[in-house]
Structure 1
Amino acid sequence: MSVTERLTRLRKAYAPHENRPLGGYVAAMGVYAGVAGGLAALVRATGRPVPERPSASDVVLISIATHKLSRLLTKDAITSPLRAPFTEYEKPSGSGEVMEQVRDEGSSTRHAVGELLSCPFCLAVWVATGFTGGLVLAPRLTRLAATALTAVAASDFLQMAYATAQRVASAPPKR
């Protein structure tokens, strides 16, 4: 039995009433493993020292930058051309973000990529892996990029807090 046939049987047993793209998920996991392995091989080939433990400040910086870059890539209106081959526009969702649905037509790989590119939680694993590799291979550049993204994330929260304060201040008094 071929791998495709096994995945089809597994998908039908796993989710008989839904089209879950297990083959696409396998492909995505393979690409992720290849990227992570490639980063590890590159670190080894360059002889860069791997820190025994990242600093707390790097963890905080990378965490906030991962959050922002994941949302920017998966939800921002401006980055929608990157997602368009895999998703369909549904509606705006506020603060410059859009809601999209994964395209149903096409291969299971296309569907899985659509899920990855429209889910900030899913993409965050990939982004954090890139930042982590960057901290070893190019720490100064990685920290600089992460600092910019962290500043944008802080600015986003301040913009939302300001807009909320304006609404509260202009609301009619309660009696």
Structure 2
Amino acid sequence: MAAGEGSYDDRDEVPLGGYAALAGAFAAGTALFAGVARRRGLRLPERVPPWDVALLGAATFKASRLLTKDKVTSFLRAPFTRRTEEIPAGEVMDEPRGSGVRRAVGDLVSCPFCTSVWVAGALTGGYVCAPRATRLVCAGLGAVTVADWLQYAWTLTEQEAEG
């Protein structure tokens, strides 16, 4: 069989088994949450107001960036990734390392889009169990998101003023 023939990718580096393990862990966590919530008699909200969706979205965005790109959270990613470069605003670029589950976790923790699904799941679970506390956490993360955009606007204004 030729190289790459019959494999998922040309270099045979995609850790499909690791991805399956992560998907299984996510599904198992969701099922466990649903089971515990049901046993405890937690009721799902009848509706989620658009404001809460926006708040959860902003918090998911910021928490995902903090977990996957922030310098200070590098210690969480280090077992699964390697730093490739520093980018503006105190963020870093990491690349996954290893193979199998380690590589799959590296892909997860270095990708804000991938991590956002897990963060959204956790925040949604929190919203069901403790909506007031979750809104407070989301408001804090949302405030940091707004502050980041103000920092970018300030920097851009300074650069334009300096010519």
Give the one of 92, 105, 111 matched to 1:113: 105
Q: Which structure has the larger Rg? A: 1
Q: Give the deviation of 1:42 after TM superposition.
A: 2.0
Q: Give the deviation of 1:152 after TM superposition.
A: 0.3
Please name the residue that 2:53 is paired with: 59
Give the one of 83, 87, 90 matched to 1:89: 83
TM-score (norm 2): 0.94
In structure 1, the gaps of 5 or more residues are 1-10
Q: Give the deviation of 1:53 after TM superposition.
A: 2.2
1:33-44 pair list within 5 angstroms: 33-44=27-38
1:1-175 pair list within 5 angstroms: 12-103=6-97, 105=98, 107-171=99-163
Identity fraction in percent: 47
Tell me how far apart the structure 1 counterparts of residues 91 and 106 of structure 2 sit (CA, whole Å).
16
Tell me how far apart the structure 2 counterparts of residues 13 and 65 of structure 1 sit (CA, whole Å).
38
Q: Which amino acid aligns with 1:32?
A: F
In structure 2, the gaps of 5 or more residues are none
- Does the residue aligned with 1:14 lie in a helix, a strand or coil? coil
Tell me how far apart the structure 1 counterparts of residues 140 and 12 of structure 2 sit (CA, whole Å).
41
Q: Which amino acid aligns with 1:144?
A: L
Q: Which amino acid aligns with 1:110?
A: R
Root-mean-square deviation (CA), in Å? 1.3
* Residues 55-87 of structure 1: CA deviation (Å, up to 9, x unaligned): 111100000000000000000000000000000
* Residues 152-175 of structure 1: CA deviation (Å, up to 9, x unaligned): 00000000000000100110xxxx
Tell me how far apart the structure 1 counterparts of residues 50 and 27 of structure 2 sit (CA, whole Å).
26
Q: Which amino acid aligns with 1:164?
A: L
TM-score (norm 1): 0.87
Tell me how far apart the structure 2 counterparts of residues 138 and 34 of structure 1 sit (CA, whole Å).
21
Q: Which amino acid aligns with 2:126?
A: G
Task: After superposing the two structures, state which structure 1 stretch, 35-44 or 118-127, moved more.
Answer: 35-44
